[in-house]
Amino acid sequence: MDFRRSDFPDDFIFGAATAAYQIEGHSFGGAGPTHWDTFAAGPGNVVRAEDGAVACDHYHRYEEDLDILKNGNFDAYRFSTSWARVMPDGRTVNPEGLDYYDRLVDAMLARGLKPFQTLYHWELPSALADNGGWMNRDTCQYFGDFTDVITARIGDRVDAIATINEPWCVSYLSHFLGHHAPGLRDIRAAARAMHHINLAHGVGLSRLRSHGMKNCGVVLNFAHTEPKDDSAAAARAAAVGDAIANRWFIEAIAKGSYPQEALEGLEPHMPDGWQDDMAEISQPMDFLGINYYTRNLVHADPDAVWPHVAAEDGPGDKTQMGWEIFPQGLHGFLTRMSRDYVGDMPIYVTENGMAWDDHVENGSVYDPVRMKFVSDHILAAKDAIADGVNVKGFFYWSLLDNYEWAFGYEKRFGMVHVDFETLKRTPKASYEAIKSAISR
């Protein structure tokens, strides 16, 4: 690793991130069915039609997993609280689910790990999905009710709380590109979801404030977006692509408006009266979480429906996902977000990491590509700090190999290897390298 903890401010947080559906095992503890179970069962949606029924069995093994974090010298754990576990039909409380998160948070505190909670990391209860999910405005208020219930139980012990993980994935990737649940390819559905998920953030934040919660924010994903060539058409396409992927959500949340390049195509499909929601969406928050992975090159596709854009992976070295390794992009987004949207508000890198086809050999996993990846991205965050950006922490995605959504268990993002037959955990070489770089 080319960095040390001492290169960063004293209060800089090093952590690792996970999400409930990807690790817990949703067949345990009375969790309800989610739209991911339905999506996974559909033909051609998920590699080998795998789902999160068992995943890493973190529900039963969380103490072992938190020990791994603690022994790795990490300061914080970014986890999510599953709506479908706490309220199996989206509206009725499952006491077993609340008890579980109560134990989980106490187990973090017992190890000196700061709990960084995310309220919604994608497991929408099926009962709500069947009622239109994020296309239905009612889902926002039900999300608010879930926020109330979980916050009343664990809000006194969490350090930071994010409303929604990656609104772009929840809406555009899931309702227009069709890659995630519910798997729609419909611009009208996407436009509604793209607004409602912002509103859900606003409603969630209002409820958090009513509980007196501090340190509240949102987690957005960003992809470095460039035109594929020098043509004016590619430049226009990249501007539209950037407006959808990198501006729609932050502009609404930080400024209360939508970027014109995206609104142009989406306005005709938006729910009536959307303008009246912008004040609630843009109420002040306390931090911005940035998830960053890669660079895309964009060109115009006049044959496609609006937005008439096509994106491809950048040209450099690729991860197991096929995503280009492009650390400069993280530096770029940290400075851009500070300059254009959030000023001096604390920013956390809430996810960054890479998948590789890791194997256990002689009891260990050697992953030098990941070591360099992590090191280079953490140095990009350090560069942003040197530029005056208020970056307060970095969370590696992910603690464990886990359920990688449409890719099932095939793509391995963990700094800890999981054997999905035996569920045995094996820390990878990257874990050991990070551990020694961040020791105190």
Least CB distance to ligand PNW at residue 58 (A): 14
> Can you say which residues are annotated as belonging to the binding site for substrate?
22, 121, 165, 293, 397, 404-405
Least CB distance to ligand PNW at residue 377 (A): 14
**Interactions with ligand PNW, residue window 387-426 (CB under 6 A):** 397, 404, 413
> Can you say which residues are annotated as belonging to the binding site?
22, 121, 165, 293, 397, 404-405
Taking CB under 6 A as the criterion, the residue among 324, 351, 358, 367 binding ligand PNW is: 351
User: Closer to ligand PNW at the Cβ: 221 or 390?
Assistant: 221
* Cis preceding linkage at 174, omega within 30: no
The one segment of 28-36, 164-172, 189-197, 362-370 that binds ligand PNW by CB under 6 A: 164-172
Structure-token match 């970056």, residue found = 391
DSSP H/E element including 148 = helix 138-154
Q: How far apart are CA 116 and CA 158, in angstroms?
A: 6
Count of alpha carbons within 13 Å of 15, Cβ hemisphere only?
Answer: 28
Please list the residues that pair with 101 across neighbouring strands. Answer: none
In 176-220, where does DSSP find H-type helix? 187-210
User: Closer to ligand PNW at the Cβ: 17 or 433?
Assistant: 17
Least CB distance to ligand PNW at residue 351 (A): 6
User: Closer to ligand PNW at the Cβ: 223 or 240?
Assistant: 223
The one segment of 98-106, 165-173, 272-280, 302-310 that binds ligand PNW by CB under 6 A: 165-173
Burial bucket for residue 92 (CB in 10 Å: 0-12, 13-18, 19+): exposed
User: Which residues, 6+ apart, have CB-to-CB distance to 32 below 8 Å?
Assistant: 84, 85, 87, 88, 89, 90, 94, 125, 126, 127
x/- site string to ligand PNW, residues 98 to 137, per CB under 6 A? ----------------------------------------
Taking CB under 6 A as the criterion, the residue among 24, 166, 367, 401 binding ligand PNW is: 166
Taking CB under 6 A as the criterion, the residue among 19, 170, 191, 415 binding ligand PNW is: 19
Cα separations (Å) of 128 from 93, 132, 134, 135, 403? 14, 7, 9, 10, 22
Query: What pairing do the DSSP bridges indicate for beta strands 416-418 and 425-427?
Result: antiparallel
User: Closer to ligand PNW at the Cβ: 166 or 251?
Assistant: 166
| 351 labelled catalytic | yes
Q: How far apart are CA 275 and CA 290, in angstroms?
A: 26
291 is a contact residue toward ligand PNW (CB under 6 A): yes
Least CB distance to ligand PNW at residue 315 (A): 17
163 is a contact residue toward ligand PNW (CB under 6 A): no
User: Which residues, 6+ apart, have CB-to-CB distance to 106 below 8 Å?
Assistant: 157
Pull the structure tokens for residue 86. 């706490």
User: Closer to ligand PNW at the Cβ: 282 or 398?
Assistant: 398
**Catalytic one of 166, 226, 261, 324:** 166
Query: What pairing do the DSSP bridges indicate for beta strands 114-120 and 160-165?
Result: parallel
Least CB distance to ligand PNW at residue 230 (A): 25
Burial bucket for residue 257 (CB in 10 Å: 0-12, 13-18, 19+): middle
Name the site residues for ligand PNW (rule: CB under 6 A): 19, 22, 165-166, 169, 173, 221, 223, 291, 351, 397, 404, 413
Active site residues: 166, 351
